C-alpha cells in the first residue's frame, strides 16, 4: 500500500480537526509531539473506511511524509519549528497559522520560504472553528497559493462539507487571517467592558479599514481582504465566544485574567503590528491599543479615550 496522501504537523485543536475531516476520504498521518488535542464534541468512533482512507497518529516526524503537508502550528511556534525540522519536511507545505512572527515581522509563508527553499508554499485560512470542522459542519475556506500546483492542492484538501476557494494572493490571505485576530481581541474588549454592540460594530469596521491599509501596503490585493480570509474570518471571530481571541478580549475588557495556556494569536500579532506598521508608515490605531492593553501599558478606559480623541477625519 502506498503512503499517506496528507501529513498534518501539529496535533492541536486545528490539526486534529483537519485530520478528522480529511480521514474519511484520504490517507492522513497526524504528527504531534504529544497526543492529539481532539476538539470538544468531535466524534472519535472508528468509521468504516476503504483502503484508500484512514488516520494514523504518530509522534515520529519521519512518518509525517506525504505529497501535501499541513503545518497546523501556532504562528510564534512555526519559525522555530521550521528552523529545526524544515529539511525533514516534504511535499507542498500548507500553513494554517494566523499570525505575524514577532521576531521577523513576517507571515508564515516567508518563514517557510526561508527554511525550505524551493518548496511549494500555500496557506489555508478563513472562517472555521476547529470544533465545527471536526464535526463536519459546512465551512468555506481560502487556499492561497501562487504555484501552478494550487488547483491540485485545492482539490486534494476539499471535502463535501469543506469548500475551498483559491487565490494566488498569499500575502493578502495570510495577513487577513493574522490581523483579524487583533481586531477580534478589540471587539471582545469592547463587549467585556460593556461598551455595547454599536461600539463593537465601530471597532470591527474601523479595524477592517486598518487591516486593509496595512495589508495593501505590504502588497496584498484589497479584494482578498473582503473575502473569506479577511472579512469573513473577522465577522466570525468578532462575534462568537467560541473564538479564543474574542474571549481573551472579553477578559481584558472585564479586567480578568486569562489562561496563559490558551493559544491567542492576536496578542503577539498586535505587538508585531505595533513594530511593523510605523516602518511602512501605516496608522493602526486599534491594533496599537490592543498591543498596549495586552502588555498592560494601558487600561480599557484609556484605550477608549485614545481612540475617541483622535482627530475627526473623512471616512
Ligand X SMILES: NC(=O)C1=CN([C@@H]2O[C@H](COP(=O)(O)OP(=O)(O)OC[C@H]3O[C@@H](n4cnc5c(N)ncnc54)[C@H](OP(=O)(O)O)[C@@H]3O)[C@@H](O)[C@H]2O)C=CC1
Ligand Y SMILES: O=C(CO)COP(=O)(O)O
Cell matching residue 57: 497518529
Q: What is the spatial distance between Cα 57 and Cα 3, in angstroms, rounded to a whole number?
A: 14
User: Rounded distance, CA 183 to CA 274, Å?
Assistant: 13
Q: Does 254 bind ligand X (CB under 6 A)?
A: no
> Which residues are bridge partners to 164 per DSSP?
141
Measured at the CA of 200, the angle between CA 276 and CA 284, to 5 degrees, comes to 15
Q: Which residues are catalytic?
A: 180
Least CB distance from residue 146 to ligand X, whole Å?
21
Give the one entry of ligand X, ligand Y, none that residue 245 binds, where binding means its C-beta sits below a cut-off of 5 to 8 angstroms depending on kind. ligand Y
Binding test (CB under 6 A) with ligand X, winner from 4, 7, 8, 15: 15
Q: Are 123 and 95 in contact (CB under 8 A)?
A: yes
Q: How far is the CB of 278 from ligand X (least distance, A)?
A: 25
Under the binding rule (CB under 6 A), the answer on residue 11 touching ligand X is yes
In the complex, least distance from residue 266 CB atom to ligand X, rounded to whole angstroms = 9
Check whether 91 is labelled as a binding-site residue.
Answer: no
Count residues binding ligand X (CB under 6 A). 26
10 is in an annotated binding site: yes
Residue 180 DSSP one-character state: H
Q: How far is the CB of 47 from ligand X (least distance, A)?
A: 22
Nearer to ligand Y, 158 or 267 (CB): 267
180 has binding-site annotation: yes
Which partner from the list ligand X, ligand Y, none does 33 bind, CB cut-off 5 to 8 Å by kind?
Answer: ligand X
Q: Which secondary-structure segment (H or E) carries 56?
A: strand 54-58
**Measured distance CA(12)–CA(245) in Å, rounded:** 16
| Residue 170, helix vs strand vs coil | helix
The residues binding ligand X (CB under 6 A) are 10-15, 32-34, 37, 72-75, 77, 80-81, 96-99, 128-130, 263, 265
Amino acid at each position: 500500500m502506498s503512503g499517506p496522501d496528507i501529513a498534518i504537523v501539529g496535533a492541536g485543536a486545528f490539526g486534529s480537526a483537519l485530520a478528522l475531516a480529511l480521514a474519511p476520504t484520504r490517507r492522513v498521518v497526524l504528527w504531534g509531539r504529544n497526543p492529539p488535542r481532539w476538539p470538544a464534541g468531535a466524534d472519535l468512533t472508528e468509521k468504516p473506511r476503504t483502503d484508500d482512507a484512514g488516520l494514523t497518529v504518530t509522534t515520529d516526524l519521519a512518518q509525517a511524509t506525504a505529497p501535501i503537508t499541513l503545518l497546523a502550528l501556532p504562528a510564534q511556534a512555526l519559525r522555530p519549528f521550521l528552523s529545526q525540522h524544515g529539511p525533514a519536511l516534504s511535499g507542498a507545505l500548507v500553513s494554517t497559522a494566523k499570525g505575524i512572527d514577532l521576531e521577523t515581522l513576517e507571515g508564515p509563508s516567508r518563514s517557510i520560504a526561508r527554511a525550505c527553499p524551493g518548496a511549494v508554499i500555500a496557506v489555508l485560512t478563513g472562517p472555521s472553528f476547529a470544533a465545527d470542522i471536526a464535526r463536519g459542519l459546512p465551512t468555506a475556506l481560502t487556499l492561497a497559493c501562487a504555484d501552478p500546483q494550487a488547483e491540485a492542492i485545492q482539490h486534494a484538501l476539499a471535502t463535501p462539507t469543506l469548500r475551498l476557494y483559491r487565490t494566488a494572493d498569499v500575502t493578502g490571505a495570510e495577513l487577513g487571517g493574522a490581523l483579524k485576530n487583533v481586531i477580534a481581541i478589540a471587539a471582545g474588549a469592547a463587549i467585556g467592558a460593556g461598551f455595547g454592540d454599536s461600539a463593537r460594530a465601530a471597532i470591527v469596521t474601523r479595524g477592517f479599514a486598518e487591516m486593509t491599509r496595512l495589508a495593501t501596503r505590504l502588497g496584498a490585493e484589497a479584494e482578498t481582504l473582503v473575502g473569506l480570509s479577511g472579512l469573513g474570518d473577522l465577522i466570525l471571530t468578532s462575534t462568537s465566544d467560541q473564538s479564543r481571541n474574542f474571549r481573551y478580549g472579553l477578559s481584558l475588557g472585564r479586567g480578568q485574567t486569562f489562561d496563559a495556556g490558551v493559544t491567542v494569536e492576536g496578542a503577539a500579532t498586535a505587538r508585531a503590528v505595533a513594530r511593523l506598521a510605523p516602518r511602512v508608515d501605516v496608522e493602526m490605531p486599534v491594533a496599537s491599543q490592543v498591543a498596549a492593553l495586552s502588555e498592560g501599558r494601558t487600561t480599557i478606559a484609556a484605550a477608549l479615550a485614545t481612540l475617541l480623541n483622535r482627530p475627526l477625519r473623512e471616512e
